[in-house]
Chains A and B, each alone.
Chain A
């Protein structure tokens, strides 16, 4: 399995999903060899081996850690490890280094490039990278992606496995190399696409890598039908080659502590938690907040997370005249996430394009009702949520007000939602992946 993040080194849903999926596969008795581009302190369960380079050299990459871990270990790690460095270094969902950035228009949906052309294009993109420069992770993302791909070629020849499963574009070059040298079948797992992350300003290089990976793959796993439709529409992939496997969440312990949740507060709290980037629609959250504050006074809006739009959002809140009602917490981790969920009356995910969206599941597990955008994969699996078009700020505000004003609405959403979310399990998601593996292996 080729990944880019693994707890505790995560910046978003990808690491969480890889961890959950790997654990689910482990429970099903599937042996997983997890290859990461950077050394990690954490380790693996009985069937999972993590391979990661301590430095960017093949020899060091062979250092295989073997320790047992549990979720608690990660929570522990989250507390004890300095997260900052990783957070700064590995942010596949942030825009690539501005100096190398090259923005192009969206390719039309009828894009018909042959895989030959894609390969040619890819070659040109890759030779354009300066991969001889800095070898540290602070260097540019593409250099790391290419280096990872080179190293994967070697690992792929040394290790024994039946199938390659690669997660998102950062690993696709590595996956293509691994598949080439080993002749093993390839499954690529699409957790998000360049169209989700960038809207209309697609980075052509990333698009080309995504496209090459998807075309090279024997089968594709998409995290939702929403994503499947993007894969077929924008990447020229036959829908029959794509399976949908939804993400899940494992029960994070008992429901909210009644003693804590019953504390009477005068103030209601509405929570945004996620990266503050274009994809997540933070400006729609603020616009809805302003509308809510027109009819209610006793509300505070918390924006938890970091991202390239945070300064812009702070300025926007001030400009709207609601600066005193919006609280920016920065990036939260571990217990702080739990704490902020515990305070919240409603979690809002106004994403512009969300392939899945695990955060609403976390909110539900923490007994917080959710309002999610219809442009999200998670809306396909959760019925007991409020749903709204991300751009429909008035309706978003209408629903926020309703939850805050009418406790029976909050209670009904919470009661049904917490039952619904507990029916999801990573083991089921893993079982669906195993079915995909079996289809691939049986030709």
Chain B
């Protein structure tokens, strides 16, 4: 039987408040905006789309199955500001049809800069999942699906036998992404690769009226899935959960689409599997060799959304430069602030890539320009650094 594997990402950063070089108070985050955004997304997406899934699981007798990955920072925010949304996710996990994935607590780029910090965050996230949901994840996904052979190795060492990644054309080299893969020389680690076309049909093209397949209905999409996936293989639909009701608003019909997706797919003889179930039921025969970092972002599928210009590189460099000093300070609030600055969104806001044509990167982006994002971030780092007596970067001595 052909299988469908869905994974939905849930994440909201702690956005920074406007922090000027003249600001003195060690209060970096825009609480009001963060609460507003969380409540809005909870109301438009997390709660209604989550209930849609619960209902579908019930109607299909658990035939619909999927995975969620929730960043630690979004769980923290839901605990404080939207327990109702958190309850929906708890119910999903308790339904027995939903697998929770492992990731970095702070939705960070730490893998690129500090393996030690990365491990600490993966551990912190595991503990959070145990505390809040009572489960221990066994499948790992790195922030924004950033992946290379090294990520697989580190995940294996951290105890994970399955990793999710983007199915990048240049690495697939003509093969389709419908199998369970393994990293070169590591047959014991499974790899599931995102099917770009079919995932983006839903995540990006669903409401596009210029698209030849608009309007996309659940039965037509189920037929596409059926055509794509043969017996003994799996099509991986990975996307942001915010797709359902937030990126694509409810009036596009996205929630109805979601509600019918399960039944329609089951009707054409497909089955739903969680990532861990794929790992158990499929054999990994093919190696997927990713020496360089890939991701699921933009058209490049690389790191350029977060590391595409000198400002982004500098901001990340400066942040991880103070890792030891922050940790040696043994100041928990300093450490928490520093870690919340690692969230990938801060660097995404600094991207000049799409700024030229004024495109995407704008989703809940609190800044008018990437320059404003960088200036704000650097002011915060400067202030943070001063808290443990570190020197300001590249500045001449102050008066």
Residues of A within 8 A of B (CB): 266, 291, 294-298, 383-384, 386-387, 394-395, 397-399, 401-402, 405-409, 411-413, 416, 420
Contact = CB atoms under 8 A, between A and B. Distances in A.
Contacts of B396: 266, 296-298
A291 B396 CA distance: 16
Given A387-B368, A411-B310, A416-B352, A398 B398 contact: no
A94 to B, nearest CB: 34
B371 A412 contact: yes
Contact of B21 (A297, A298, A402): A402
B393 interface: yes
Contact of A409 (B311, B355, B392): B311
Interface of B is mostly: loop
A395 B313 contact: no
Most chain B CB inside 10 Å of its own CB: which residue of A397, A402, A413: A402
A402 B22 contact: no
What 6 A-B pairs come out closest when comparing CB atoms? Answer: A408-B310, A408-B314, A402-B375, A398-B20, A298-B396, A401-B21
Given A394-B20, A398-B22, 11 more contacts: A295-B22, A296-B399, A394-B22, A395-B20, A405-B392, A407-B394, A408-B309, A409-B311, A409-B374, A411-B310, A412-B374
A102 to B, nearest CB: 41
Contact of B399 (A297, A395, A402, A420): A297
14 contacts: A266-B396, A297-B397, A384-B371, A394-B20, A395-B20, A398-B21, A402-B379, A406-B378, A406-B393, A408-B311, A408-B314, A409-B371, A409-B374, A412-B309
Given A383-B369, A387-B369, A398-B375, A412 B22 contact: no
A145 B64 CA distance: 81
B356 interface: yes
Interface string B44-72: 00000000000000000000000000000
Interface residues of B, number: 29
B32 interface: no
B395 interface: yes
Contacts of B397: 297
Nearest to A292: B21
A298 B355 CA distance: 33
B398 A405 contact: no
B356 A383 contact: yes
Interface string B359-395: 0000000001111101100110000000000001111
Contacts of B352: 384, 412, 416
Given A297-B398, A384-B352, A412-B309, A402 B378 contact: yes
Contacts of A291: 22
Contacts of B356: 383, 416, 420
Which of A394, A399, A406 gathers most chain B CB within 10 Å?
A406
Interface string B335-369: 00000000000000000100110100000000011
Given A405-B393, A408-B314, A412-B310, A399 B375 contact: yes
Contacts of A384: 352, 355, 371
A297 B394 CA distance: 13
A407 B317 CA distance: 14
Nearest to B382: A405
